[in-house]
Structure 1
Amino acid sequence: MSNTQRFEGKVILITGAASGLGLATAQRLATEGAKLALVDLTPEGLAAAVRSLPAGSETVTVAADVAQLSQVQAYVAQTLQRFGRIDGFFNNAGIEGRQNLTEDFGAEEFHRVISVNLDGVFFGMAEVLKVMRRQGHGAIVNCASVGGIRGVGHQSGYAASKHGVVGLTRNSAVEYGQFGIQINAIAPGAIMTPMVEASLRQMGGEDWESVGKTFVEPNPMRRFGKPEEVAALTAFLLSGEAQFINGTVIEIDGGQSNKY
């Protein structure tokens, strides 16, 4: 864990902050002095997240559904009410959805996944960009996926939504670089989070750990990634040390995307 204080005095907004990559990133940034606005679906999950942070961390928590524009506007407003600005935004909240062939995926499930993973990212970016443009600075990291840069199978909604996140990232980076705002995306592979565990349980039931071992066998590093490894990358992109990286999608998958 870093001993630096790159985020001293900075305000960072994180969606999907109660578990997985969002929680790991919140924990990492808190150790570096960030003031955190944490967004997730339930107050209980957010309260647990805050308890996991270092003592004395400055936080505001907002329970919100990122697929609802009014609730996105509310989490941005409450962040500004508490801290007055937003220096960085980890636009992270997302779901995988059920696995199925495209023909069997279903319209309702497809729209459910799109609404969280793509609408939610767009709504968050649109509202936060208004703030950052007024400020004249800011950094955004959108959470895409390796499923946003290649096909993965049985995940029509997820793949479509994450490809959309990549497109939004590249398009908006072109628009907003002139305003001192950098917008990038990360593309995690198989990172051992509750969402990935749930996916493995869909495939293997109680034998999900064995399925997981088989799942990562083709990976050049022969293992799952760790949430804290993704948090370290996200922290770098938000820290101010990477200001000329803009419109980039960075894979963090052990090299698997390079293996065909």
Structure 2
Amino acid sequence: MDRIMLQVEIEIKNINLKNERGLKMEFRNRVVLITGAAGVTGRVITEKFLKEGALLALVDINREGLEELVNELNLDKTSSIWIHADVRNEKQVVKYVQETLDHFGKIDIFINHAGIEGKVAKISNLTVEDFDEVYRVNVRGAFLGLKYVIPVMQEQNYGVIINTSSIMGVQGAPCLTSYVMSKHAIIGMTRATSLECADYNIRVNSVCPGPIDSRMMQSIEEGIVPENPQVVRELFTQMIPFKHYGSTEDLAELMLFLSSNRAKYITGTYFLLDGGLSVR
């Protein structure tokens, strides 16, 4: 009975939203599970899917950030749940997947987004702990998400998965060895799991943003030249054919496209969002 009442409330809310906006919401009633939802980019991704009528399961290790996101977007338990969880912890990954299923009964789209840049330093100056920290979040976290979401989608015989890699997943960069390795691993996981999932009508792709105007890019700039990070930004900008950084909205829009039926024949690949930087 509770599930029926929840569905009725969702239908009423979506009808009202559709009437208010005067448009057809592409992801209406689709359940979208997003890790790293409380970060700068995660918030924009969340907002984009919300405006398209999606039902949201938001996961982040930052409890305060989740609460701010919920308040900022005026979210409620009718169309969303928010789960404080560490993607490195297997039990907590099982928990966020199960809570999503308990609340919504399905997972249509998985945005496997949580990640960190780690310490900016030459490999000889990295500690094993520095390396492990990046790999636990970026690789183990993504792996665990796939491990427990894919069986859900196989049971449904449908699903879309988007793994967040980076331009560094196809190129190299000095002083970012751990990050570069981890993002190469994401593309490897994308390719392997897309083959495992094809018979179940599940699409798996990855996005590879270049310089995006975000906290992570600012951290990298500061790590390269702490005394004058603006110099690094200017250098990167000059290297980009479009001569400016991408936006978090650009990345979110790419994820929306890849999650939609317009991309129904796309799987097992990666998409660069870099203003032409990789062409250099």
TM-score class, shorter: over 0.9
Aligned to 2:73: 53
1:63 and 1:217 mapped to 2: Cα distance?
40
1:108 and 1:54 mapped to 2: Cα distance?
39
Aligned to 1:34: 54
Per-residue CA deviations over 1:117-158 (Å, capped at 9, x if unaligned) read: 000000001100010000010000000001111101111111
> Any residues of structure 2 matched to 1:1-260 within 5 Å, and which?
4-53=24-73, 58-205=79-226, 207-259=228-280
TM-score, normalisation: structure 1: 0.95
Rg bigger for which structure?
A: 2
Q: Is the 8 A contact 2:121 2:223 kept in 1?
A: no
CA gap 1:191/1:35 in 2 versus in 1, 3 angstroms: same
2:276 and 2:24 mapped to 1: Cα distance?
28
Letter in 2 for 1:136: N
Contiguous gaps of at least 5 residues in structure 1: none
2:227 and 2:252 mapped to 1: Cα distance?
29
Structure 1 residue 23 displacement after superposition: 1.3
1:52 and 1:177 mapped to 2: Cα distance?
38
1:31 and 1:52 mapped to 2: Cα distance?
14
Letter in 2 for 1:119: R
CA gap 1:16/1:255 in 2 versus in 1, 3 angstroms: same
Structure 1 stretches of 4+ with a deviation exceeding 4 A read: 54-57
1:3 and 1:168 mapped to 2: Cα distance?
36
Letter in 1 for 2:56: L
2:248 and 2:273 mapped to 1: Cα distance?
11
1:157 and 1:205 mapped to 2: Cα distance?
19
Aligned to 2:8: none
Q: What is the number of residues matched between the two proteins? A: 259
CA gap 1:3/1:115 in 2 versus in 1, 3 angstroms: farther
Structure 1 residue 200 displacement after superposition: 1.7
Q: Is the 8 A contact 2:160 2:259 kept in 1?
A: yes
Contiguous gaps of at least 5 residues in structure 2: 1-21
Q: Is the 8 A contact 1:14 1:89 kept in 2?
A: yes
Letter in 1 for 2:25: Q
Letter in 2 for 1:184: N
Q: Is the 8 A contact 2:158 2:201 kept in 1?
A: yes
1:46 and 1:130 mapped to 2: Cα distance?
27
1:55 and 1:140 mapped to 2: Cα distance?
23
TM-score, normalisation: structure 2: 0.88
Letter in 2 for 1:7: F
Q: Is the 8 A contact 2:193 2:204 kept in 1?
A: yes
Q: Secondary structure at the match of 1:220?
A: coil
Structure 1 residue 49 displacement after superposition: 1.3
Q: Secondary structure at the match of 1:8?
A: coil
2:98 and 2:75 mapped to 1: Cα distance?
25
2:124 and 2:75 mapped to 1: Cα distance?
50
RMSD: 1.8
Q: Secondary structure at the match of 2:33?
A: strand
